[in-house]
Amino acid sequence: MTITESPESLTSSSDDNSNLRRRRSGGAKAVEDVTESDSSSAMEASSSSDDVTGDVGDGKFSDGNEIQEEKVENEEQRKATETTPLKYVYRASAPAHRRIKESPLSSAAIFKQSHAGLLNLCVVVLIAVNSRLIIENLMKYGLLIGSGFWFSSTSLRDWPLLLCCLSLPIFPLAAFLVEKLAQKKYMAERVVVTLHIIITTAAILYPVMVILRCDSAFLAGVTLMLFACVVWMKLVSYAHTSYDMRQLAESVDKGENSDINYSYDVSFKSLAYFMVAPTLCYQLSYPRTACIRKGWLTRQLIKLVIFTGFMGFIIEQYINPIVQNSQHPLKGDLLYAIERVLRLSLPNLYVWLCMFYCLFHLWLNILAELLRFGDREFYKDWWNAKTIDEYWRLWNMPVHKWMVRHIYFPCLRNGIPKGVAMLISFFVSAVFHELCIAVPCRLFKFWAFLGIMFQIPLVILTNFLQNKFKNSNVGNMTFWCFFCILGQPMCVLLYYHDVMNRKGTAS
């Protein structure tokens, strides 16, 4: 490029002299144009280093057309810089300020640019602060994790729960036989519906009875109840979807929907795949991926082990000592209860986030990869939720799709108002939250049930705040405060002390 050459080298030959004269004449014309207007290419090139930086930042405040125009202008400036002699570049007379621009942290521009660097800073500070707290805790109390976390004294007595878990596939097999008989029209529709109700009810009551009769560990009971609830929801989806497919098949046979090419089939292979697939909504076929990525699968398994261990470390090292040294939040001093809740909120939040990452991201993706299950939208950006209602729509997509498909819209189709349909959906969710916690604890205080039903007034409150302030930050901070900082730690303290009181009374 001629910009990097010295004046002596430009005059070393006649050809170079002619090129120099042409470029000088072009440069002189550019200087003359600058006198008439501030948009000359030569003088724009003289401030190109500042303007390119400013234009990129300024382009983030403008729409798509302006950004495209600035890209073209920057390209012209680059070409002008390459063809302009050195003596006309970066001159003192070139204008340094040519546009109206906002400061990057001003209210008009702060949300129109990337803050990745500040986010990285927050992550670094968070790691540094928590590392210091971990080291300080280890120096003060030592390592509190013992063999009891991984192998409890009742683990050998958990074998009835294991047998119960292994016998749960009997219920999907029974549902398949019912559907097969219904397809061949050996049973009336009322009989089919009644048998499905009996099968699904037995699928959830059978584990409850086993857990209540056996002196098992809490973790084993929670695992069995979660598995039983998943089986129950899958059976409901299978029965409901099969009923709907029979109705469609009958309408096609009657000629009511002759334009629909529809075939109804009861396939054991489809049911078996559905029972192990990471979804709660039954259909005959699912989108499938081309292959299993073994390297990717190995990395996810390693992450699952690491984060599960980290979650256990936080529970044993932080949460257990806090709850053991606390009083019942509803029977002691109010300020003391608030202090315990706030002190428990941070480790509880870490455990909850690790649980989300391990379950919804790692485990469900591992299962989907093994089964080549294509639709892996197991969650959305719930951390940006502006209201409680939005959070429940984004947090757990398998359950949300099941609720919409088998609870909410069936209620609307039967003439039930939207508010009542939402109330029914929350009621079903509250019942299963209570079952998953109260049954393993053998304590029915309905704290989990009330906690889920309390979401309804929070939905109304956060929707009101969002509509009033028109600011996503207000609703988002309200969600984090009520749901994670106050709600979950309070439930942990309530259940812990009630369980301890029950054991003390029994002993």
Residues forming beta bridges with residue 288, ordered by sequence position: 373
Instruction: Give yes or no for a contact between 424 and 416, defined as CB atoms under 8 angstroms apart.
Output: yes
Structure tokens at 451: 């906690």
Neighbours of 133 (CB within 10 A): 13
Cα gap 204→230, rounded to integer Å: 10
Q: What tokens were used for 15?
A: 């050809």
433 is annotated as an active-site residue: yes
| Among the listed residues 309, 307, 341, 320, the one whose alpha carbon sits nearest the alpha carbon of residue 144 | 320
Q: Which amino acid is at 291?
A: C
> Would you tell me how many other CB atoms lie within 10 Å of the CB of residue 271?
20
Q: Taking the CA of residue 134 as centre, how many other CA atoms within 13 Å lie in the half-sphere pointing to its CB?
A: 12
Token digits of residue 504: 């003390």
By the 8 A CB rule, do 209 and 185 touch? no
What are the beta bridge partners of residue 373?
A: 288
Residues 451 and 197: their CA atoms lie apart, in Å, by: 28
What span, in angstroms and rounded, lies between the C-alpha atoms of 280 and 96?
A: 62
Rounded Cα–Cα distance for residues 142 and 322 (Å): 15
C-alpha 160/C-alpha 154 separation (Å) is: 12
b/e map 154-174, b = 16+ CB within 10 Å: eeeebebbeebbeebeebbeb
Q: Bin 266: left if φ > 0, else alpha if -120 < ψ < 50, else beta.
A: beta
The single residue of 196, 240, 433, 497 carrying the catalytic annotation is 433
Map residue 107 onto helix, strand or coil. coil
Residues with catalytic annotation? 433
